[in-house]
Amino acid sequence: MPLLRQKLEQKQYSTLASISQDHDNKKRSKNVQRLRSKNVSPRRRRTPSKDSKTLAKMRSFCPAPQTAVPTSLVVTPSPLYSPHSSPILTYAPNTPSPSLTPANDNLIPTWSLVEDGVKAVAATAALQLSGKSAHAFAFNLLPETIEAAKANPAGFLDHLKRPFDLLLKRAGVDLPYWLCLDIDDDKRLHIHGAFAAVLEQHPAIRKIMKTAWGKWKGRGEHKQLWISRKPCDDGWASYSLRNQRKVARIIGPRTFTITRPLQRKAEWTYSEIRRIMRGSLLKSVLT
């Protein structure tokens, strides 16, 4: 459901340091669980199935009459999308969102309670709002790269992310991206992800990916890496993480990663979607 319309503005995140934690010398009780009120239930970790319900609510939500069936949370003025009437959002993360309803009266949970599926969708929406085109990509890994990643004490995902980030930094490429591991019917692991960059940057990004993750040689070399020429939408994120449980059985629970700047933007984007839905809920209750 398109809740956001792209509006390109040169607004940056504040460079102010985050709020510091409480550094007083008060003694903290170790028996926190005993002090919990009987009327307050502990937070429970959300599951992919609950995330799918959250995404269904987000995509089915209709803030205004629509003229066509939407496929993405974000509507951008490109051939892949049709403009709809929806709230216009621009990045202003330093402006607090007003509390329209009680904290527990929400259609969707807070950012801290959602899992990778929702975060990947929000990250893709944030890429679409970044001012550059959001492009999907898929990368087939070499067998030796897979074995080396499995043997890395730091973890499979870290084995892939660290050299990629290092090469991006050396090349002076500021690339907001997310990536995850997927598996095909032959149980072969490969990378799915998305990033925001202009087309002129794609050759350099291709070279960095192959240097960091290994390059095929010989027949089929051109099929190792695919980058979409046209902008992608958040449906790509849901598709990419559809096999997350299967992948986790092979490489461990961490199958998804996102750059820190993009994570902040994704959290803000998700919070705005949640605020819009909460506002609509309050309005429907009052009318």
Residue range 60-90, pLDDT digits in tens: 876 554 444 445 665 543 332 222 333 334 4
Q: Which two structure tokens, joined as six digits, stand for 201?
A: 């940057």
State the pLDDT confidence band at 200, using cuts at 50, 70 and 90.
very high
More confident call, 283 vs 118? 118
* Alpha-carbon span 58 to 72, nearest angstrom: 10
pTM of the model: 0.71
Identify whether the C-beta of residue 262 lies closer than 8 Å to the C-beta of residue 237: no
CA distances (Å), 47 to each of 86, 114, 118, 246, in order?
30, 8, 11, 14
Given a cut of 90, is residue 113 above it in pLDDT? yes
Phi, psi values for residue 31, rounded to 5°: -95, 60
Q: What is the pLDDT of residue 72?
A: 64
- Model confidence at 45, pLDDT cuts 50, 70, 90, reads low
Structural domains present in the chain: 134-262 (3.30.70)
